[in-house]
Amino acid sequence: MIARLACAALLVAGASTIYPQTELPEADDYESFEVEPPILMPNRQIDSAKSSSTIAASERDPAELEKRVERAKRAAIDAEQLFKRGVLSKVEVELRALRIVRLQADLENARFDRARADLAVQRTRLEMGEISKEQLDEFEKQVLAIRDAAQAAAAAREKAEIAAAEANLQRQRKLVELGTGRKSDVARAEQKLAEVKAGKN
């Protein structure tokens, strides 16, 4: 047994002399072999630009916004039921209700933008003699009604935003009173409320 250990020790010692250890190079003595891979999809930026413009166009499309409003309403109903079961918090229910108001305002603005564009077309048609002045007047009345709806939706959104910011501030203050909140959260809630009231949101 001792002879075997001695033999193994001699083999290790011999291997270290045959294959001497080499020192590792200093950090500045060698160049990195890391190679940046080539871009495989050079048109990616163009595609992303197209997709972003498509998204922006869909966000201004009244038909698409109507679908989003309906989805938001269904999500709000689901949130109410989940809140009653104790699955969702009251904050989540409030956020989903606020989302409906925001989307409704966006929808009314999109309708107004579409109506103004259509009005410009109708005025051109009047100049070309395709429609009468009475028809244009009727169309202008419709545009004014759509404008009033957009203004009412914007006012409702502003009111809802302020109410949500005030509720959040009260919630943060209550948490601080209970010892589970932070004063920095209260400060942020106060700043958010001030921004909403100033119309910066």
Does residue 70 carry a pLDDT above 80? yes
Q: State how far the Cα of 25 lies from the Cα of 79, in Å rounded to an integer.
A: 63
Does residue 82 carry a pLDDT above 50? yes
161 CB neighbour count, 10 Å cutoff: 21
> Which phi-psi region, left, alpha or beta, contains residue 31 (left: φ > 0; alpha: ψ -120 to 50)?
beta
Half-sphere exposure of 34 (CA within 13 A, CB side): 2
In sign, the C-alpha dihedral spanning 97, 103, 109, 111 is negative
For 129-152, give the DSSP string.
TSS-HHHHHHHHHHHHHHHHHHHH
Residues 109-138: tens digit of each pLDDT: 999 999 999 999 999 999 999 999 999 999
Q: Calculate helix-pair angle for 183-197, 133-178, nearest 10 degrees.
A: 160
Give the model's pLDDT for residue 156. 97
Does residue 143 carry a pLDDT above 70? yes
The helix (H) or strand (E) run that includes residue 181 is none
Q: Return all residues near 147 (Cβ < 8 A) that are at least 6 apart.
A: 112, 115
Residues 7-52: tens digit of each pLDDT: 555 555 554 554 444 444 444 444 444 444 455 555 555 454 455 5
**Global confidence as pTM:** 0.68
